[in-house]
């Protein structure tokens, strides 16, 4: 009989024994109150006191929540592994023995560390490495540990939900205690005793948006009991409480690819991306393959006020010249620019102090050349021809100004259910802004003033262009599955309700996006592993009163046979710094190509 079966059998005995003990004590106390002899009363009052002195420590082996998996079934929420569990409550029974030395020898860890946990610990602990991860034991090590039958030390299978070396932390999110939320959302479960006010609930990410489905069953708890003197209750010392169910908990199957996600997080860290995001979408379907946010955070120790847990991939930012893609689309579709028409850029425009980034200007230039060179003055002139309403209309046609996270109306009686937690809507013009003010209009044309776009929306805009002009919703979760593998619910890809752009315009945009790399501001990307098309952007912002820039590049690759639509942004960069967007985008392309070729990325680790 293995250890788990033994513990389960002993757990039943514990319950039966404690029930009989307390029933007997209750009867004895009733007899005492009726006038039992004095010496008998004193003896049994002491027995009650000793029973009360019995102590217990408990540790969670599995949260009972459903798993969050990638598209290939690989978990982001921990894996089952053998762990060494130590109950400091049992330290008294280990005095004067060499048991801790034997344990240290088996697990090949310093005896001093195990001794420290036993003698200084306040709560049950699992043996961990310096990074805080569980030190996994082999089946042989676990069997040897359990064969020693050491009080308070056991090797069992555990599943830790959040590992320090795991990826997609912002997408997965975290859980915490929220009594107000439990009361408002889970009133029936509270009344049925299935939840309590201190139950863990999803606080961000998929943990939050799918909390009702991930709640699952009660957690697996391992408890250890000692008597008033700290000695284990022989035969009744350890108890395992768990619930098994063929169908629950449910699991989420995401569209993420764990290999791509890990690779993109490596790119972010190697490039020293301290604040920003990387989004990789399937260029055909718009499914999220990777979503990286920085700064990173530890879901086991969340500082809510610090805000590192927020997903920058779905936070709205000023896009800078990336927004010129919208203005170009509107100009081409509405015919406000004649074929071959030339504009004059002399470096300055109008009375607003509006200037081009190139001192002295670009001279006589076409819209294609202006797009490749990101000429501010030409796009200011085009914006005046279009007007504010047309610019906003085409922004919406290309999926901006709306939450593109997949929505299924009335899903499971939840209206406006969205898969992607915390996704911001973005905007083109603020409600109080005058749309007839030329100064506002020309700033809008270059992605400044009120314009706000999320990296997710920007990547999805590329998918829309590649699709021929029809904007679609972004899918992060494809299925919800029962524990036995049967399907509970499938999320089908869906289009956005608004009208897109015509196919001819999308083809022209693809040509212009390629010229950005071959002839314009994205020339750095000519050295990338695959041919690239896209648009750069530098947005002027303020951070705590200090002038800063957001560095963007948005595009797709390989350009001739697109597989990935990508948006990268490095936030709050020094004004003097060269746009890091193309360099970061090149790292992404190299890493994706390396994954495709199963070979190391050639780019160095230094930015």
Nearest to 176 by CA among 205, 217, 218: 205
Kindly state the tokens that stand for 326. 């919208």
Distance CA 93, CA 490 (A): 54
φ/ψ of residue 258, rounded to 5: -60, -35
d(CA 288, CA 310): 18
Q: Which pair of structure tokens corresponds to residue 584?
A: 């970061």
The single residue listed with the structure tokens 């050349």 is 369
Catalytic annotation present for 164: no
Burial class (CB in 10 A: 0-12, 13-18, 19+), 123: exposed
CA distance 357 to 518: 20
What residues does 280 pair with on adjacent strands? 290, 566
Phi-psi bin for 353: left (phi > 0), alpha (psi -120 to 50), beta?
A: left
Burial label, 490 (beta-carbon count in 10 A; 0-12, 13-18, 19+)? exposed
> How many residues would you count in the chain?
607
Question: In degrees, to the nearest 5, what angle opens at C-alpha 523 toward C-alphas 521 and 526?
Answer: 155
Q: Report the distance separating Cα 66 and Cα 159, nearest Å.
A: 12
The Cα–Cα gap between 403 and 28 comes to: 67
Residue with tokens 């992605």: 447
- Burial readout 348-366 (b: 16 or more C-beta within 10 A, e: otherwise): bbeeeebbbbeeebbeebe
Residue 593, helix vs strand vs coil = helix
* Alpha carbon distance 223, 7 (integer Å): 10
| CB-CB contact of 224 with 90 (8 Å) | yes
Distances (CA, A) of 27 to 39, 44, 96: 17, 11, 40
Whether a cis peptide bond, with omega within 30° of 0, leads into 249 is yes
DSSP H/E element including 33 = helix 3-33
Q: Which of 321, 374, 478, 601 is catalytic?
A: 321
| Contact between residue 152 and residue 93 where contact means Cβ atoms under 8 Å apart | yes
Question: CB atoms < 10 A from the CB of 446, how many?
Answer: 30
User: 202 with 213: CB under 8 angstroms?
Assistant: no
Active site residues: 321
């Amino acid at each position: 009989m293995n250890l788990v079966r033994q513990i389960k059998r002993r757990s039943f005995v514990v319950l039966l024994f404690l029930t009989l003990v307390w029933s007997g004590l209750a009867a004895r106390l009733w007899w005492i109150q009726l006038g039992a002899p004095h010496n008998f009363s004193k003896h049994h009052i002491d027995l009650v006191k000793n029973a009360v002195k019995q102590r217990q420590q408990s540790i969670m082996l599995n949260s009972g929540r459903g798993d969050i998996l990638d598209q290939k079934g690989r978990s982001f929420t921990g894996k089952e592994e053998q762990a060494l569990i130590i109950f400091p409550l049992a330290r008294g029974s280990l005095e004067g023995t060499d048991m801790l030395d034997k344990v240290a020898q088996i697990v090949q860890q310093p005896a001093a560390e195990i001794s420290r946990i036993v003698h200084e610990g306040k709560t049950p602990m699992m043996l961990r490495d310096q990074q805080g991860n569980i030190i996994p034991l082999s089946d042989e090590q676990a069997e040897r540990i359990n064969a020693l039958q050491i009080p308070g030390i056991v090797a069992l299978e555990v599943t830790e939900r959040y590992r320090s070396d795991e990826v997609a932390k912002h997408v997965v999110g975290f859980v915490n205690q929220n009594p107000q939320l439990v009361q408002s959302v889970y009133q029936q479960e509270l009344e049925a005793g299935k939840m309590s006010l201190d139950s863990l609930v999803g606080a961000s990410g998929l943990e939050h948006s799918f909390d009702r489905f991930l709640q699952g069953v009660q957690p697996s708890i391992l408890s250890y009991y000692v008597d008033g003197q700290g000695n284990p209750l022989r035969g009744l010392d350890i108890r395992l409480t768990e619930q098994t169910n063929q169908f629950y908990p449910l699991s989420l199957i995401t569209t993420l690819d764990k290999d791509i996600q890990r690779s993109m997080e490596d790119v972010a860290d190697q490039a020293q991306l301290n604040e920003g995001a990387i989004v990789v979408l399937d260029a055909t379907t718009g499914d999220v393959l990777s979503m990286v946010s920085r700064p990173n955070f530890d879901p086991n120790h969340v500082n809510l006020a610090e805000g590192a847990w927020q997903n920058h991939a779905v936070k709205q930012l000023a896009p800078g010249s990336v927004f010129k893609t919208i203005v170009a689309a509107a100009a081409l579709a509405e015919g406000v620019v004649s074929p071959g028409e030339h504009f004059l850029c002399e470096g300055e425009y109008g009375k607003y102090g509006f200037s081009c980034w190139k001192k002295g200007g670009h001279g006589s230039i076409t819209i294609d050349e202006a797009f490749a060179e990101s000429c501010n003055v030409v796009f200011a002139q085009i914006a005046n021809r279009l007007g504010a309403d047309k610019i906003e209309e085409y922004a919406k046609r290309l999926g901006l100004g709306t939450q593109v996270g997949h929505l299924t109306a009335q899903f499971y009686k939840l209206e406006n259910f969205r898969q992607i937690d915390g996704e911001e809507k973005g905007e083109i013009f603020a409600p109080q802004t005058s749309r007839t003010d030329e100064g506002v209009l020309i700033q809008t044309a270059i992605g400044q003033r009120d314009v706000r776009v999320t990296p997710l929306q920007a990547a999805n805009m590329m998918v829309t262009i590649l699709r021929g002009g029809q904007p679609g919703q972004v899918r992060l979760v494809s299925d919800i599955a029962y524990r036995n593998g049967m399907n509970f619910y499938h999320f089908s890809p869906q289009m956005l309700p608004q009208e897109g752009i015509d196919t001819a315009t999308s083809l022209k945009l693809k040509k212009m996006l390629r010229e950005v790399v071959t002839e314009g501001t994205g020339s750095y990307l000519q050295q990338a592993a695959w041919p690239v098309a896209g648009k750069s952007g530098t947005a002027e912002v303020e951070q705590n009163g200090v002038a800063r820039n957001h560095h963007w590049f948005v595009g797709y690759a390989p350009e001739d046979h697109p597989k990935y639509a990508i948006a990268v942004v490095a936030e709050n960069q020094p004004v003097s710094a060269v746009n890091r967007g193309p360099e970061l985008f090149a790292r992404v392309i190299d890493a994706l190509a390396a994954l495709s070729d199963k070979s190391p990325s050639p780019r160095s680790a230094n930015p």
